[in-house]
Amino acid sequence: MINKERLLKHLNAMQTISTIDDVPGINRIAFTDQDWAGRDYLIKQLKELNLTLRYDEFGNVIGRYEGKNPDAPAIMTGSHTDSVPQGGNYDGLAGIAAALEVITDLKETNTHLNHPLDIVLFMCEESSRFGSATLGSQAMRGQLSRERLQTLCDKKGLSLYDVLKERGFNPDIIPQSKFTTPLKAFLELHIEQGIVLEKTNHTIGIVTGIAASTRYKIHIHGTAGHSGATPMNHRYDGLCAAAEIILATEQIAQNNEPIPVVATVGVIEATPGVMNVIPGEVTLGLDIRSISAEAKDRATRSILHAITEIGHKRDIPIDTSLIADEMPLMVKNTMIEAMETVAKNKPYNYMTLPSGAGHDAMNWGDYTDVGMIFIPCREGVSHNPAEAINIDDLVTGTEFLKDIILHLDKQ
Amino acid at 403: D
- Report the distance separating Cα 354 and Cα 344, nearest Å: 19
Query: Rounded to 5 degrees, what angle do the CA atoms 395, 133, 182 make?
Result: 70
Three-state DSSP class for residue 356: coil
Residue 386: Cβ within 10 Å count? 12
- DSSP β-bridge partners for residue 77: 119, 187
Strand partners, 142: none
Tell me which DSSP letter residue 173 carries: G
Q: Does 10 count as an annotated binding residue?
A: no
Strand partners, 221: 281
110 annotated among ligand-binding-site residues: no
Q: Does 312 belong to an annotated binding site?
A: no
Across-strand partners of 120?
Answer: 62, 78
Helix 391-410 with 93-108: angle, nearest 10 deg: 60
Do residues 222 and 236 touch, judged by C-beta distance below 8 A? yes
Q: Are 278 and 235 in contact (CB under 8 A)?
A: yes
Closest CA to 27 of 88, 112, 92, 94: 88
Amino acid at 198: E
Q: Reduced to 3 states, what is the DSSP secondary structure of residue 353? A: strand
319 labeled part of a ligand binding site: no
234 is in an annotated binding site: no
Question: Cα 384 from chain centroid?
Answer: 15
Q: How far are the Cα atoms of 28, 152, 231, 312, 362 from residue 282, in angstroms, in the given order?
A: 30, 20, 20, 16, 33
Compute the residue count for the chain: 411
Q: Which residues are annotated as a binding site for Zn(2+)?
A: 80, 91, 126, 190, 383
Q: Which residues are annotated as a binding site for allantoate?
A: 215, 276, 289
Q: Which residues are annotated as a binding site?
A: 80, 91, 126, 190, 215, 276, 289, 383
